[in-house]
Structure 1
Amino acid sequence: MGHSKAFHPTYDNEGIKELQSNPALAIETIMDTYGDEIKRLVFAYMKNSADTDDVTQEVFVTIYQKLNTFQGNSSLRSWIYSIAINKCKDHLRSWQSRNKRLKEKLISSSQSMKTVELTPEEMTLQKDNSSELFQKVMDLPIKYREVIILFYFKDLSTKEIAKVLTMNEATVRTRLNRGRSKLKECLSSEKGGVSHG
Structure 2
Amino acid sequence: MDAELIRQFEASYDAYGAMVYRLAMAYLGRTADAEDVTQEVFCRLLWRAPGFADGEHEKRWLLQVTANLCKDQLKGFWRKRAAALDADIPVEHEADRGVLEAILTLPEAYRAPIHLHYYEGYSVAEVAELLRLSPSAVKMRLKRGRERLKLELEPGKEGSV
> Which segment drifts farther, 136-145 or 24-33?
24-33
Partner residue, 1:160: 126
For the pair 1:140 / 2:140, whether they are aligned, the reply is no
Q: Distance in 2 between matches of 1:129 and 1:158?
A: 26
RMSD over equivalenced CA pairs, Å: 2.6
How much has 1:128 moved relative to structure 2?
Answer: 6.4
Partner residue, 1:186: 152
How much has 1:153 moved relative to structure 2?
Answer: 1.1
Q: Distance in 2 between matches of 1:64 and 1:164?
A: 21
1:97-116 per-position Cα deviation (integer Å, ceiling 9, x unaligned): 322x2xx23xx6xxxxxxx7
1:192/1:163 CA distance change after superposition, 3 Å: closer
TM-score, length basis structure 1: 0.69
Partner residue, 1:29: 11
Percent identity, aligned pairs only, is 28
User: Which one has a bigger Cα radius of gyration?
Assistant: 1
Q: Distance in 1 between matches of 2:95 and 2:16?
A: 18
1:82/1:54 CA distance change after superposition, 3 Å: same
> Which segment drifts farther, 80-89 or 124-133?
124-133
> Which segment drifts farther, 128-137 or 165-174?
128-137
Q: Give matches, 1:44-123, under 5 Å.
A: 44-68=26-50, 70=52, 75-99=57-81, 101=82, 104-105=83-84, 119=88, 122=89
Q: Distance in 2 between matches of 1:26 and 1:89?
A: 28
1:22-62 per-position Cα deviation (integer Å, ceiling 9, x unaligned): 54333221101111121122112222222122111101011
1:129/1:80 CA distance change after superposition, 3 Å: farther
Paired residues, number: 156
CA contact (8 A) 1:126 1:134 kept: no
How much has 1:157 moved relative to structure 2?
Answer: 0.9
CA contact (8 A) 1:23 1:67 kept: no
Higher relative contact order (CA 8 A, sep 6+): 2
CA contact (8 A) 1:78 1:160 kept: no
How much has 1:81 moved relative to structure 2?
Answer: 0.4
